[in-house]
């Protein structure tokens, strides 16, 4: 058994001050060592424990009392997906980040983990000897720990709405997932969005719906698309979610089952038509271009934008050349500021931006950047966005 402890704190509650306490649970000594070194180099976090199995984590959780757990999926004795609910039963405000390699099976398990209460997931590189892959893993993991841990410290723990099991559409094939549960009531402090200024909605009728999201996005997207049936029938819906390959394949299947509309990863050159949801595939930027009299998808394998690939800004800015000001864009929960610059361009062209509010966001980075830039026509809780979008496409401009 391999167990390492650092520090001590009162069981059953997260510490209000001091570094974030991170528990690393992975059967790979290389991964445990790597993550431990990264965390040790940060001023605002510390390694609370380094464990080899999920069973060790479950048995020691009350003693260790971490704020955040990085939980591997495949481990001996007790795997991550089995350990997850047991950990949350013993410490319900624990922030759990699932870690897995990029396989279809692990992507499916990661989505299941979200339904069981995991805060987020992160793909592990196939080999830590590949410098670029290790650098991305390092950057993303530290940012997720910091931002998700800060949310825990900032307000009482309110789990983001889980992905709940869904009944598939009659013709659906494949695994059944993702009918969203009702959003949990907000019990924390009022959102700062209540004092932010907004601008009027565009007077132009929107001809397309664009959505950008990141951390917490899968849950938010499920909740939103479930309410957009009439809109999807009327206009194309294009979504960029920060997510790696394979994961976007699974997400598209979830979106199809939840919305009961055609949804798939976008294909380079395919026409953009009403009645479909187009999802940017992991590892590629998605843009729209003119193709004769039609609009088509253009996938771009260029460098990351805002540290992301796919990124939201390329989609938002490319849409202006097609639909000019007849654009409604929605920026959902996520780290960073991706979507804010593209949103500015959309507003300058005459379109509109809606941002998810702070209280209902897992991380109020992307929507917060848009809200603070003063480009939003509305800053709304997740459970109000769908109704507002439906009204806007039905002709209401207020």
pLDDT for 195 equals 73
For domain 3-154, give its CATH number from 3.90.950.10, 3.40.50.10800, 3.40.50.2300, 3.30.70.1140: 3.40.50.2300
Is the Cα torsion angle 34, 37, 43, 46 positive or negative in sign? positive
Print the SS3 string covering 151-164: HHHHCCCCCCCCEE
Q: In CATH terms, are 3-154 and 198-393 the same topology?
A: yes
Residue 394: strand pairing partners: none
pLDDT for 130 equals 66
Print the SS3 string covering the chain: CCEEECCCCCCCCCCCCCCEEEEEECCCHHHHHHHHHHHHCCCCEEEEEEECCHHHHHHHHHHHCCCEEEEECCCCCCCHHHHHHHHHHHCCCCEEEEEEECCHHHHHHHHHHHHCCCCEEEEECCCCCCHHHHHHHHHHHHHHHHHHHHHHHHCCCCCCCCEECCCCCCCCCCCCCCEECCCCCCCCCCCHHHHCCCCCCCCCCCCEEEEEECCCHHHHHHHHHCCCHHHHHHCCEEEEECCCCCHHHHHHHHHHHHHCCCEEECCCCCECCCCCEEECCCCCEEEEEEECCEEEEEEECCCCECCECCCHHHHHHHHHHHHCCCEEEEECCECCCCCHHHHHHHHHCCCEEEEECCCCCCCECHHHHHHHCCCCCEEECHHHHHHHHHHHHCCCCC
- What class does CATH assign to 198-393? alpha beta
* Residues labelled catalytic: 214, 242, 338
Domain ranges in the chain? Answer: 3-154, 198-393
pLDDT for 397 equals 80
Rounded distance between C-alpha atoms, residue 290 and residue 66, angstroms: 52
Are 327 and 319 in contact, with CB atoms under 8 Å apart? yes
Give the phi and the psi of residue 132 in degrees, each rounded to 5. -65, -40
Q: Can you say how many angstroms the Cα of residue 4 is from the centroid of all Cα atoms in its chain? A: 31
pLDDT for 16 equals 57
pTM (two decimals): 0.84
| DSSP structural state of residue 364 | B
pLDDT for 176 equals 31
Residue ranges, the chain, pLDDT below 70: 1-17, 127-131, 153-194
pLDDT for 170 equals 35
């Amino acid at each position: 058994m391999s167990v390492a402890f650092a520090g001590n704190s009162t069981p059953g509650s997260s510490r209000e001050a001091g570094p974030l306490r991170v528990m690393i649970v992975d059967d790979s000594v290389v991964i445990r060592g790597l993550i431990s070194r990264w965390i040790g180099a940060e001023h605002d976090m510390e390694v609370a424990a380094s464990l080899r199995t999920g069973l060790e984590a479950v048995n020691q959780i009350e003693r260790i009392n971490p704020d955040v757990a990085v939980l591997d999926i495949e481990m001996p004795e007790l795997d991550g997906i089995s350990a997850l609910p047991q950990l949350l039963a013993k410490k319900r405000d624990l922030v759990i980040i699932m870690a897995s390699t990029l396989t279809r099976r692990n992507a499916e398990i990661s989505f299941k983990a979200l339904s069981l209460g995991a805060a987020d997931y992160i793909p592990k590189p196939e080999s830590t000897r590949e410098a670029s892959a290790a650098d991305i893993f390092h950057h993303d993991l530290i940012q997720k720990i910091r931002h998700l841990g800060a949310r825990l410290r900032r307000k009482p723990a309110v789990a983001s709405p889980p992905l709940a099991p869904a009944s598939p559409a009659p013709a659906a094939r494949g695994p059944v997932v993702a009918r969203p549960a009702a959003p949990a009531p907000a019990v924390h402090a009022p959102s700062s969005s209540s004092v932010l200024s907004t601008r009027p909605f565009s007077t132009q009728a929107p001809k397309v719906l664009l959505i950008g999201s990141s951390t917490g996005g899968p849950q938010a997207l499920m909740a939103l698309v479930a309410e957009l049936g009439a809109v999807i029938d009327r206009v194309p819906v294009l979504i960029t979610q920060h997510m790696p390959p394979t994961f976007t394949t699974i997400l598209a299947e979830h979106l199809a089952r939840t919305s009961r509309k055609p949804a798939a990863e976008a294909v380079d050159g395919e026409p953009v038509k009403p009645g479909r949801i187009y999802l940017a595939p992991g590892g590629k930027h998605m843009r729209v271009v003119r193709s004769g009299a039609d609009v088509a998808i253009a996938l771009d394998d260029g460098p990351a934008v805002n540290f992301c690939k796919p990124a939201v800004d390329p989609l938002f800015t490319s849409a202006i050349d097609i639909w000019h000001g007849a654009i409604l864009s929605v920026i959902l929960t996520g780290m960073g500021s991706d979507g804010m610059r593209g949103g500015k361009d959309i507003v300058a062209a005459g379109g509109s931006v809606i941002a998810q509010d702070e209280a209902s966001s897992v991380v109020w980075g992307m929507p917060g950047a848009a809200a603070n830039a003063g480009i939003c026509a509305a800053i709304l809780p997740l459970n109000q966005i769908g109704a507002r979008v439906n009204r806007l496409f039905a002709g209401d401009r207020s």
